[in-house]
């Protein structure tokens, strides 16, 4: 079964499993949304995704 493309983790849960979330982004391309009280605050994304976003933002400026 393929790995999920995204996951959500609360701040407390993320503190306990940060290395796993980073590894999931680096190895499997998984995006992990960081939540607080059920609201998405930020995300851990693969570097390639972040670089693509930055490149798009620079071309739009």
pLDDT attached to residue 2: 52
Contact in structure between 28 and 3 (CB atoms under 8 Å): yes
Domains and CATH numbers, the chain: 6-60 (3.40.1620.10)
pLDDT one-digit tens code per residue, 26-52: 999 999 999 999 999 999 999 999 999
Query: Does residue 58 register a pLDDT over 70?
Result: yes
Residues sharing a CB contact under 8 Å with residue 4, sequence separation 6 or more, in sequence order = 30
Band of the pLDDT at 61, cuts 50, 70, 90? confident
Q: What is the pLDDT of residues 1-19, one digit of tens each?
A: 455 789 999 999 999 999 9
Q: Tell me, what's the pLDDT at 25?
A: 97
């Amino acid at each position: 079964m393929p790995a999920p493309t995204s996951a959500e983790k609360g701040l407390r849960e993320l503190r306990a499993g940060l290395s796993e979330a980073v590894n999931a982004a680096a190895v499997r391309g998984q995006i992990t949304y960081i939540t607080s009280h059920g609201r998405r605050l930020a995300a851990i994304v693969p570097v390639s995704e972040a670089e693509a976003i930055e490149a798009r933002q620079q071309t739009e400026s």
